[in-house]
Amino acid sequence: MPVYDDVLRRNQGEIEFHQAVYEVLESLSPVVQKRPEFVEASIIERICEPERQIIFRVPWVDDKNVVQINRGFRVEFNSALGPFKGGLRFHPSVYLGIVKFLGFEQVFKNALTSMPIGGGKGGSDFDPKGRSEGEIMRFCQSFMTELYRHIGEYTDVPAGDIGVGGREIGYLFGQYKRITNRYESGVLTGKGLSWGGSQARTEATGYGTVFFVNEMLKTRGQSLDGKRVVVSGSGNVATFAVQKVHQLGGTVVAVSDSSGYVVDEHGIDLEALREVKEVERGRIDSYVAKVGGRATFIEGGSVWDVPCDVALPCATQNELPVEGAKALITNGVQVVGEGANMPTTPTAVAAFQAAGVLFAPGKAANAGGVATSALEMQQNASRDRWTFDHTEERLADIMVGIHELCLSTSDAYDIPGDYVAGANIAGFTQVADAMLAMGVI
Ligand code: GLU
């Protein structure tokens, strides 16, 4: 693929970005045959090159009065469908290749939501682990002191991702407001409920993933009711995936973090999990004592060894390797839905598909988070506030819509039931049509 060779040449060493591009390009040959105008206008070449990439220094002073330097990023990938939209990730692993992979995925994901949002992503190699409130605030303020000039309600709208939740969005919004002297609610999403945030935004990514998986099960005449579910991760996405699975009658028997995983045959106790992760910001092994010893902690090891009907990778990229896929298949997994971005490696995806396991890629299954961000922008633009139930209903409709779009697209291209190709083709054609209409820009 000459386009892919160009991507390799221009983005050397950015392996996650290469992987994300390859996975999309692999799906596009039937589109290219049907729509030669995309080739004539070099749409694929253009879509693989971000519109703008910003890298900046983030200096701040820690609690010991030592000056710290981090690197900040914002990759504004594609604005054909609306302002750049996508989260910020604060994690030591963040470098340009991670931000680009996330930004690239976001372009297609956002298109699938059918909301008017382009795609972008940002973040920093800052590690929030073990940092005090004051350090987190000063870091966020310094980060925004540079970022503010690049973003705006009609330009680029950041939100959270790994390491960036309500607390960080608060500090970021406060600094933006102070610098610009504008109460521009729609410049960030994931805000607090009393200052422009949307009901159900916190829950949306996890809930949306579970809604999507329930739709997948329906295609086989089943539902989540009575299903055994394994969720990896224990952050925002995982937490609310657990909650929605339980509301729909399934049982989540395991969750994890980077230290290992816990198995709780009674079903993961959400209060205990949130106490460990959100209040104490501790490790997952503390969960065992919180539930009176009824659960088991397995240090290291793979959560994918736990037998289940449904697996929801909700932690981070490439966390589900082919060995994990094989263990899940051997234990009879029926459905895999990605709550995280690109958590399943390409060989693991291929293994699931070859085994007839229903597999949904993150850009479809986890789009509920950003879709609800778009609902937050809608509420901010009309200076309105919706109820939880109304917002959750909109989220559920959007997820059903994405599921239908993936299936109808895979049908139209003679690859029925292939959610990966369906999502890639449907996302791509929407962005490509808009780019075609707008000329060479
Ligand atoms: N970080 C989330 C994602 O991966 C949400 C981004 C947003 O709400 O803008 O889609």
Domain around 75: 2-184
For residues 100 and 165, state if they share a domain.
yes
Q: Measure 292 CA to ligand 1 centroid, in angstroms.
A: 35
Calculate what percentage of the chain has a pLDDT beyond 70. 100
pLDDT tens-digit readout, 4-53? 999 999 999 999 999 999 999 999 999 999 999 999 999 999 999 999 99
For residues 209 and 247, state if they share a domain.
yes
On whether residue 321 sits in a domain, the answer given is yes
Of 116, 150, 184, which marks where a domain is finished? 184
Question: Domain tally for the chain?
Answer: 2
Closest atom of ligand 1 relative to the 160 alpha carbon: 1
When pLDDT is cut at 50, 70 and 90, the band that residue 200 belongs to is very high
346 contacts: CB under 8 Å, gap ≥ 6: 19, 22, 23
Q: DSSP assignment of 302-332, as one string? A: -GGGS--SEEEE-S-TT-B-HHHHHHHHHTT
pLDDT tens-digit readout, 48-91? 999 999 999 999 999 999 999 999 999 999 999 999 999 999 99
Q: What is the CATH number of the domain that holds 345?
A: 3.40.50.720
Residue located nearest, by CA, to atom 9 of ligand 1? 86
For residues 29 and 80, state if they share a domain.
yes
- Identify whether the C-beta of residue 255 lies closer than 8 Å to the C-beta of residue 238: yes
Q: DSSP assignment of 14-46, as one string? A: -HHHHHHHHHHHTT-HHHHHH-HHHHHTTHHHH
For residues 227 and 124, state if they share a domain.
no
For residues 39 and 87, state if they share a domain.
yes
On whether residue 73 sits in a domain, the answer given is yes
For residues 44 and 154, state if they share a domain.
yes
- Identify whether the C-beta of residue 186 lies closer than 8 Å to the C-beta of residue 381: yes
Is the pLDDT assigned to residue 1 strictly greater than 90?
Answer: no
Closest CA to 69 of 7, 112, 126: 126
- Identify whether the C-beta of residue 412 lies closer than 8 Å to the C-beta of residue 12: no
On whether residue 63 sits in a domain, the answer given is yes
For residues 14 and 120, state if they share a domain.
yes
On whether residue 431 sits in a domain, the answer given is no
Calculate what percentage of the chain has a pLDDT beyond 90. 99
On whether residue 375 sits in a domain, the answer given is no
For residues 45 and 174, state if they share a domain.
yes
Q: Measure 123 CA to ligand 1 centroid, in angstroms.
A: 12
Closest atom of ligand 1 relative to the 109 alpha carbon: 10
Q: Measure 240 CA to ligand 1 centroid, in angstroms.
A: 15
Q: Measure 64 CA to ligand 1 centroid, in angstroms.
A: 33
pLDDT tens-digit readout, 86-136? 999 999 999 999 999 999 999 999 999 999 999 999 999 999 999 999 999
Structure tokens at 220: 């086989």
Closest atom of ligand 1 relative to the 201 alpha carbon: 8
Q: Measure 97 CA to ligand 1 centroid, in angstroms.
A: 17
Is the pLDDT assigned to residue 2 strictly greater than 90?
Answer: no
Of 306, 329, 356, which marks where a domain is finished? 356
On whether residue 297 sits in a domain, the answer given is yes
Closest atom of ligand 1 relative to the 86 alpha carbon: 9
Q: Pick the catalytic residue: 121, 177, 244, 363?
A: 121
Around ligand 1, the residues with Cβ closer than 6 Å are 85-87, 159, 161, 189, 341, 369-370, 373
For residues 209 and 174, state if they share a domain.
no
For residues 176 and 232, state if they share a domain.
no
Burial 100-111 (b: 16+ CB within 10 A, else e): bbbbbbbbbbbb
Closest atom of ligand 1 relative to the 372 alpha carbon: 8
On whether residue 190 sits in a domain, the answer given is no
Q: What is the CATH number of the domain that holds 159?
A: 3.40.50.10860
pLDDT for 347: 98
For residues 174 and 241, state if they share a domain.
no
Of 132, 151, 184, which marks where a domain is finished? 184
On whether residue 57 sits in a domain, the answer given is yes
For β-strands 310-313 and 228-232, DSSP reports them as parallel
pLDDT tens-digit readout, 406-434? 999 999 999 999 999 999 999 999 999 99
First to last CA, the chain: 24
Q: What average pLDDT does the segment 276-287 reach?
A: 95
Percentages helix, strand, coil for the chain (3-state, rounded to 5) are 50, 15, 35
Q: Measure 355 CA to ligand 1 centroid, in angstroms.
A: 30
237 contacts: CB under 8 Å, gap ≥ 6: 205, 206, 209, 314, 339, 340, 366, 369
Residue located nearest, by CA, to atom 5 of ligand 1? 370
**Is 121 an active-site residue?**
yes
For residues 33 and 158, state if they share a domain.
yes
